[in-house]
Structure 1
Amino acid sequence: MDPRGCRGHAAAGTQGLTMMGPVAAFPTWMPAGATQVPGAVSYPGEGVKLTVNKGLSNHFQVNHTVAELPRTDCTYHSGVMYVGTKQLSPTETFPVLVGDMDSSGSLNAQVIHQPGPASGPRWPSRPSSQRL
């Protein structure tokens, strides 16, 4: 790679590509002849996201996610998932209950259940977001 990171200098093995970007360590590759939109530059590694998943049993899992991105506030999500014991096929187990709450108090939940055989209808239920 060309250490200068200047427009018009292509690295070896990148015929037809031009390196665009203000930082040589984080170049953006674009096809030759393409134009770059002013002010629309993203840099790899912007922001931080940490997710922790913990299985409490074969059927119950909790997760926590913290994300901090530029130009936004730090966000936190806490979620739970329960997968039931009624197995209709090797790939389908019911009921499935999923819940998520974010740092603003917005709660989302979803229930998926199929009471009969695999050919029967499924009943997904998703309440509207509520603020606690």
Structure 2
Amino acid sequence: MKGCQPKRLHLRVRASALLATQLGADVFAISTDTDYVYLDYKRPTQRPLKLLTASEMEAHCKVEHFPPGNMGPKVESVLRFLRRGGKEAVITTYDHLCDAVDGTAGTRIVSDPAGAGTPGNSSELSSGLPTRGR
């Protein structure tokens, strides 16, 4: 996935995802310095992602919304966790981790519904795929 490839600096995040998978965890939580994962981060069109499926998040990766040195490795680790049987993942600040696990803060990414695999199959989650302005 171009735009979401982890770098050597982010081995801790990758290792954490692997550990969560090996332990059979249902939820994988990542603490970062932003309260949400954002599209168009630090641009006038910046907007938070609150709830989406793994396929929807993967589609955002394919259009390079998440830089490899910033959010990309975190998003890639979440996707690996979900593709290997995890049920959901959250990304937010340390201060909001408990609330994020409870579903009231941060970005929540859930595994695809059975039989899904393309963006937009879960209408109650994301309504569509925004295009990245360049």
Structure richer in strand, relative to its length: 1
Q: Where on the TM-score scale, by shorter chain, does this alignment land: which range?
A: under 0.3
In terms of Rg, which structure is larger? Answer: 1
TM-score (norm 2): 0.25
Give me the TM-score of the superposition, normalised by structure 1.
0.25
Q: Which structure exhibits the higher relative contact order, with contacts defined as CA atoms closer than 8 Å and separated by 6 or more residues?
A: 2
Q: Which has the higher helix share?
A: 2
